[in-house]
Amino acid sequence: MSHRLIKSALKPFLLLVALVSFSVTAVSFAQQANADSSDKPQYSAVYKEAKKHLGTSYVYGATGPTHFDCSGFTKYVYKKSIGKAIPRTAQAQYRGTKKVSKSHVKKGDLVYFGSSTFGISHVGMYIGNGKMIDSQNRGVVTEKVYAPWWHVVGFSRPATLSYD
């Protein structure tokens, strides 16, 4: 067989090998992208757990599930819904989680209230549209973040959540 004949017979085979390799690589990248997004905990799980406790009574120092204080509620919701442990008190939750700016706040982030970032006295979970779910003297409720009785001092992200 001549060198030219071998070369011309080899071209379609090499093209087929290249196409198969490209297809396998593309499928692998697509699977990895899907795995990356599904590896993130879902906001819907966190929100669903929080909503289950609407109306639960407030008791100072309580960590649930029959009574909550503000930080006991956020701690319980994150642990129960996605297995994420966060510190016990509102001040410690602020110190121990990643800070985010008001312009980058997302559903599931925590919002803190008080006199300053050194004097945090309350925490709630942001649920979108300027609202939060929190435990306060009326129990676990949904309310506006920017209300006359609250002074927002910061936001944090206890976990990176997926919003699918």
Residue-wise pLDDT for 90-131, tens only, equals 999 999 999 999 999 999 999 999 999 999 999 999 999 999
Residues 15 and 49 in one domain: no
Which residues constitute the domain of residue 13?
1-39
Residues 35 and 100 in one domain: no
pTM above 0.85, yes or no: no
pLDDT confidence band for 39 (50 / 70 / 90): confident
Which of 70, 104, 109, 151 is labelled catalytic?
70
Residues 49 and 31 in one domain: no
Which of 67, 69, 109, 134 is labelled catalytic?
134
4-32 burial, b at 16+ Cβ within 10 Å, e below that, comes to eeeeeeeeeeeeeeeeeeeeeeeeeeeee
Active site residue 36: no
* Average pLDDT taken over every residue of the chain: 86
162 domain-assigned? no
Residues 62 and 97 in one domain: yes
106 domain-assigned? yes
What pLDDT score does 164 carry?
75
What pLDDT score does 66 carry?
97
Output the domain CATH number for residue 132: 3.90.1720.10
Active site residue 53: no
Active site residue 151: no
What pLDDT score does 7 carry?
58
Which of 53, 122, 151, 164 is labelled catalytic?
122
Residues 33 and 53 in one domain: no
Q: Which two tokens stand for residue 153?
A: 């001092």
> How many domains does the chain fold into?
2
